[in-house]
Chain A
Amino acid sequence: MPGVKERIVIPDFRMSPRVDQVGVEERASRFTKRSIKKQSKVEGLKLVLSMIDLTTLEGKDTPGKVKQLCYKAKHLLDNYQGLPTVAAVCVYPSMVRVAKKSLEGSRIKIASVATAFPSGQAPSKVKIEDTKFAVSEGADEVDMVISRGKFLAGEYNFVFDEIAAIKEACGEARLKVILETGELSTFDKVRRASDIAMYAGADFIKTSTGKVQPAATMPVTLVMLEAIRDYYYSTGKMIGMKPAGGISKSKLALHYLVMLNEVLGEDWMNNHWFRFGASSLANDVLMQLVKEKTGVYQSGDYFPID
């Protein structure tokens, strides 16, 4: 990659840059004032669709449920021409094989959570095994969770080493590192965790498991995008971003795209570098697309759920 440094020096994570919460929230709210209309809205909505990781992560998941989700992933709305597919389907490792079979022939990726998702409270050995299993079953991407307990106890080296080990266990699969920002609680900590994750080898940093409130918010995503930007300028290396949980409306998803567009710019505006972790967002986007086409407000009855 042009510009990537040959040797990247790892900083002292205790010195991570400061973040002012009030300032972040003001900047984040300014993105929501952008008015996205007409052609830019349609383009944006299609881009959003292509960035969705369609997700099911419930204790009660069954092969049947996963098969239906995968079908929905491939057929968002068959009577609307020119729709992209979602970026990926995200499931538990035990469901990867089913998903792989159902998505055969499509370009949709299979992302698997791993490392004792969602709590991450398990010995590193177990987490590595979990990862290797998911990869061997066919996962293209692994969404791991960091050890929040260790992080909050100040054991940054442990957290770093664990991520590096999981990255190794991923092999060819791309690694998304979930920070669980709702548990980290301050933006300073989110910034620090982002830096640790990127330097340790993450391909993506991700806000949440979706199991803890608050999940993704615009301010927390902004902090992470700015971490990615600083990392890029320091090392020449691009890192992806995935806000997950709490994004179920198209309008909000478009605000996120505006934020991405104005913080990282054009190169990140595709699903190789940005994802939405969402389940009900897709249908809302489809409703908006149909409304833009027909000029008429839609009802959920006309859009099949998975």
Chain B
Amino acid sequence: MDLQKVVSSLQLAREKRVSYIASNLKESQMSTATKKNKKVSSNNNGVPKLKFNSGWEYAPAPESKSHIKLKGRYDLFINGKFVKPSSGKYFETINPATEEPIAEIAEANIADVDKAVKAARNAYEKVWKKTRAAERAKYIFRLSRMIQERAREFAVIETVDGGKTIRESRDVDIPLAANHFFYYAGWADKLEYAFPGRVPSSLGVAGQIIPWNFPLLMAAWKIAPALATGNTVILKPAETTPLTALKLAEIVQESGLPEGVVNIITGFGQTGADIVNHPDIDKIAFTGSTEVGKIIQKAVAGTNKKITLELGGKAANIIFEDAPLDQAVEGIINGIYFNQGHVCCAGSRLFVQESVYNIVLRKLKDRMETLIVGDPLDKNTDIGAINSKTQLNTINKYVSIGKKEGAEIYQSSCPIPDKGFFFRPTLFTNVAQSNRIAQEEIFGPVLAVQTFRTDEEVIEKANNTPYGLSAGVWTDKGSKIFNLTTKMRAGVVWANTYNKFDPTSPFGGYKESGFGREGGLHGLSAYLKV
């Protein structure tokens, strides 16, 4: 018996060694004979690394700012007009790439919130509720077309206000926002088809609070379905990124939308709280941190207010050994580095199947070297400015925590501007499931890398989090894709792609990532009595 045990354990050890060699062989295509000088962790077999960021340099290609129209000071948009704040107070919004102020923004207090709610209520009862659905649709179609007409101006302002690269604003944010209005406009007069057996009706007045990472897009995600379903809204944009919402207010004026249907008031967290607590609001929609989401959920307890929450995430991005590796690496980059990692559904936890770990890391690091961090208005910039000093501090905090926890840090070698808030694309290897950098949301361009061996293991680790917003799965095998997509406890699962959005596609989380869905047919129910 003992002999059997010894033999089988020797066999096991031999199998382990063989599979270890085999996995390295796959990666290096080398015979064992030539491996004597090779270290296990070397990720390019002693071959000199490829040289990026040298040689041909791209000259600055700044997007022109000359055609945009920005006021020096913005008031509150209530009942179809820009009105001064009751307190007379204004705050500054700055350009995080240069730290220079752009405009003064009105600070709404509780009296202003009350004014806005009254305007929205009045517009709902007297006008919007009575407007024929097909006519409501046409207003919303107008908003979409007008955003398209002024797309470049919106993109530049979005970039300057929030630090997001012009390429993202121009190619992703603004088109998606315009398309969102277009999609929901079409639902306005078709609601009887959306919910079989039910005749839905609008809720009334909606209070909507949005974050700073996709300012105009989040405004579209909130306003479009609310209006299409017959509600009126009060929107509060984030204090660091109010400008595109205020420009949207100008479009609302131009479109002829009846006064009071859309109200946009600016302010800090207190303004948001005042909205949440206002007794004459029927519905609260919030996108932001889980921490604040919980406060809001508590605040509306015992009232009749309906709420939907879209909160934080710590998504697992899973690379299997049979994944198309070069495209998977691009998916990793898309998942965590674009938009500076300020994405709630960011693929911030990378799980790489151990047999392809070295090759994936090598490809990932090479790709990171080609990412350009710099002036967000430069068309060649890949990673723009971190949205605020506060957020930069948070990122730095987590990076020190990661180092203290024993994880190994790697950053690309690109230059960064010496003014403004910037951070290089960063990854941590040697990360354990229990590390804080693998559990808590960092909201920056920082990736935590873990390995796994089997499907069971990675499913368990991916789901082992209080969050559940999104996940990514990379494999060439169809049945494995559907296995993972059924098992992931997340509201959005991307297979062989990442960070894809469409107005027709519902988006929202499981567990502490929130509840309710935005986009698609399912996105209608947030704003209807069904």
Contact = CB atoms under 8 A, between A and B. Distances in A.
- CB–CB under 8 A between A and B in the complex? yes
Contacts of A229: 50, 366
Interface stretch (A33-41, A127-135, A177-185, A295-303): A33-41
B48 interface: yes
A82 interface: no
A153 interface: no
Nearest to A264: B50
A8 B44 CA distance: 15
Nearest to B31: A9
Given A3-B48, A23-B330, A233 B362 contact: yes
A3 B46 contact: yes
B59 A41 contact: yes
Contact of A19 (B167, B326, B362): B326
Given A9-B31, A36-B61, A235-B29, A17 B370 contact: no
Among A9, A18, A39, A44, the one with the most B-chain Cβ atoms within 10 Å of its Cβ is A18
Interface stretch (A97-105, A107-115, A163-171, A265-273): A265-273
A266 B51 contact: yes
A238 to B, nearest CB: 10
B110 to A, nearest CB: 46
A39 B57 CA distance: 9
A90 B56 CA distance: 27
A27 B171 contact: no
B289 interface: no
B55 A24 contact: no
Contacts of B46: 3, 236
Interface string A1-28: 0110111110100000111101110110
Nearest to A24: B327
A262 B47 contact: no
B167 A33 contact: yes
A9 B29 contact: yes
Contacts, number: 115
Contacts of A266: 51-52, 54-56
Nearest to B44: A233
A175 B34 CA distance: 28
A61 interface: no
A306 interface: no
Nearest to B55: A266
Contacts of B295: none
B373 to A, nearest CB: 15
B306 interface: no
Nearest to B379: A35
Given A5-B30, A23-B496, A37 B327 contact: no
Interface residues of B, number: 42
B367 to A, nearest CB: 8
Contacts of A157: none
A197 interface: no
A226 B326 contact: yes
Interface string A173-198: 00000000000000000000000000
Contacts of B61: 35-37
Contact of B47 (A9, A38, A232, A257): A232
A234 interface: yes
Range, interface on chain A: 35 or more
A267 B50 contact: yes
B380 interface: yes
B485 interface: no
Contacts of A5: 30, 34
Contacts of B31: 7, 9
A155 interface: no
Contacts of B57: 40
B300 interface: no
Contacts of A24: 326-327
A47 interface: yes
B56 A7 contact: no
Contacts of B52: 261-262, 265-266
B19 interface: no
A269 B56 contact: yes
Nearest to B327: A23
A23 to B, nearest CB: 3
A255 to B, nearest CB: 12
Among B30, B58, B171, B497, the one with the most A-chain Cβ atoms within 10 Å of its Cβ is B58
Contact of B56 (A11, A40, A235): A40
B50 A18 contact: no
Interface in A197-229: 226, 229
A236 B497 contact: no
Given A18-B323, A26-B330, A267-B51, 19 more contacts: A7-B30, A9-B25, A19-B324, A19-B326, A23-B327, A23-B497, A24-B327, A37-B58, A37-B61, A38-B59, A43-B56, A47-B56, A232-B50, A234-B29, A235-B29, A261-B52, A261-B56, A264-B50, A265-B50
Shortest Cβ-Cβ A-B pairs, 4 listed: A23-B327, A266-B55, A35-B61, A35-B379
22 contacts: A9-B30, A17-B325, A18-B476, A20-B324, A20-B327, A20-B476, A22-B496, A23-B324, A23-B496, A33-B379, A36-B59, A37-B60, A38-B59, A41-B59, A44-B56, A229-B50, A233-B45, A236-B46, A265-B52, A266-B52, A266-B54, A267-B50
Interface of A: 2-3, 5-9, 11, 17-20, 22-24, 26-27, 33-41, 43-44, 47, 226, 229, 232-236, 257, 261-262, 264-267, 269
Interface of B: 25, 28-31, 33-34, 44-48, 50-52, 54-61, 167, 171, 322-328, 330-331, 362, 366, 370, 379-380, 476, 496-497
